Amino acid sequence: MRRALALALFVACFPPLAGSSEAFLDPEAAVARVLELSAARLALMPAVAAAKWRTRAPIADPAREAAVIEQAVARGRAVGLDPDGVRALFELEIGWARESEQRLEDRWRTSGFDGLEPAVDLTRELRPRLDALTGELVTALYLARPALEEEGFASRHAALAAASLGDPLWSAEARGELLEALGRIRRTPLPALERIAASGVLVVGTTGDYAPFSIESQGRLGGADIELAKAVAAGLGVHAVFVRTQWATLLDDLAAGRFDLAAGGISITPERAARAAFSSAYASGGKTFLARCADARRYRSLAAVDRPGVRLVVNPGGTNQQFVAAHIHRADVRVYPDNRSIFEELRARRADVMITDDAEVELVTRRYPELCRALPGTLTRAGKALLLPRDPAFEARVDAVLRPLIAAGLPGALRRAYLRGVTIDSSLPAS
């Protein structure tokens, strides 16, 4: 009864699974959002200048400027952004704002006031708008920070800045200065729970290529673990944002702070456990064989697969490739780089067999009737869990949210829902 109630409550909070989908946060889009907000701040300066002109207020307001900078620094510090980088950026932006206002005032003193902006109250309307933009910009910096930290950021995004900042208020020099300042934004160590609470988002890394756990199709992201990550985020009082990672770079991306946790059918392995932490396991799976149904009886054991003349295909970077490297020595092994079309190698008879997780095999055999599970059992067994940084408080909090969901049977219900009813164009056997 309790399990049924918990599942009913989840369904009430998260509408029909088949229609639920997200999209990856694209790094270019994250940078574009930063540029958009910077432009929005400067675009308010003519209205600010006009309000000051009408009230005879001075352009320079050192106290207000210092307060804005400190507000931005405090917000940045709360989400783990280095104070020096945030301070330098907002000092630059406020300097541009002051120059923009001063140019307008100088022109009006010479030629008369010609401001077309409607009268807007500086204190009650314009400054609250600017304060809101300050908060939005810091959040955008937080989400774009992995892209900002990449080497050569300024030169790589010069064209984007030119397209985004085409207003006459922006000179080529100013665009270059902004990009250089953005390229100096860095993170500082901060406990994960503090940072996540301050930002209001849980950044989730996922590959988007391992159905039924995580799959991207036609630009949308869905899967059982995508829904599970959203439920965990809700339990933490924030919302989930999804960023792309790859199996080969999963641990490095976690260590670099590109996301708060990773989800998507990730197997618990000693190698991963040596560098990161795991949540409680919410599923288990093992390696098995996938082949054409007509040939499946030939591949019912490891010895039958690991022999000369057998063409085995494997995807790169995950535990499938690790298993093949450790256990397959005589078969003709080919690492297939296109993770979304690997099953076509079996269907087109360019490969004979592949080793993948049983959860993936269940989905693939539903989609492709000509492909069958060759080994009834599994060669290995491993739990699947969320991949976490080593942060005991964060680990404990995630588990406190996740365990009731596991007890209610939610992860299994989500997987069954996706196996039954979600249309998936392509997928990758990986873990």
DSSP characters for 344-403? HHHHTTS-SEEEEEHHHHHHHHHH-TTEEES-SS-S--EEE--EE-S-HHHHHHHHHHHH
Q: 11-20, 241-250, 358-367, 397-406 — which is least confidently predicted? A: 11-20
**pLDDT tens column, 39-68:** 999 999 999 999 999 999 999 999 999 999
**Given pLDDT bands bounded at 50, 70 and 90, which one contains residue 421?**
low
Q: What is the pLDDT of residue 116?
A: 67
Tell me if domain 201-283+383-421 and domain 287-380 are identical in fold: yes
Asked if 264 and 283 touch (Cβ cutoff 8 Å), the reply is no
Can you tell me whether residue 98 is helix, strand or coil? helix
Residue 12 has pLDDT above 50, yes or no: no
Asked if 371 and 379 touch (Cβ cutoff 8 Å), the reply is no
Side by side, the strands of the sheet bearing 353-357 are 332-335, 311-314, 353-357, 287-292, 371-373
Superfamily holding 287-380: Periplasmic binding protein-like II (3.40.190.10)
What percent of the chain lies above the pLDDT cut of 70? 92
Domain extents for the chain?
27-182, 201-283+383-421, 287-380
Residue 377 CA to residue 400 CA, distance in Å, equals: 33
CATH architecture under which domain 27-182 falls: Up-down Bundle (1.20)
Q: What is the pLDDT of residue 355?
A: 93
Residue 8 has pLDDT above 60, yes or no: no
Mean pLDDT of 97-121: 88
Q: 171-175, 286-290, 424-428 — which is least confidently predicted? A: 424-428
**pLDDT tens column, 280-310:** 999 998 999 999 999 999 999 999 999 999 9
**Long-range CB contacts (within 8 A, 24+) of 191-195:** 191/391, 191/393, 191/394, 192/260, 192/389, 192/391, 192/393, 192/394, 193/236, 193/391, 193/393, 193/394, 193/397, 194/78, 195/78, 195/79, 195/80, 195/260
Q: What is the pLDDT of residue 114?
A: 84
Q: What is the pLDDT of residue 230?
A: 97
**pLDDT tens column, 312-325:** 999 888 888 999 99
At residue 343, what are phi and psi to the nearest 5 degrees?
A: -70, -25
Residue 423 has pLDDT above 90, yes or no: no
* Pair of tokens at residue 272: 């991963």
Q: What is the pLDDT of residue 367?
A: 85
Q: What is the pLDDT of residue 7?
A: 42
Q: 171-175, 285-289, 349-353, 362-366 — which is least confidently predicted? A: 362-366
**Given pLDDT bands bounded at 50, 70 and 90, which one contains residue 21?**
low
Q: What is the pLDDT of residue 10?
A: 42
CATH architecture under which domain 201-283+383-421 falls: 3-Layer(aba) Sandwich (3.40)
Residue 392 has pLDDT above 70, yes or no: yes
Residue 362 CA to residue 234 CA, distance in Å, equals: 30
**Given pLDDT bands bounded at 50, 70 and 90, which one contains residue 117?**
low
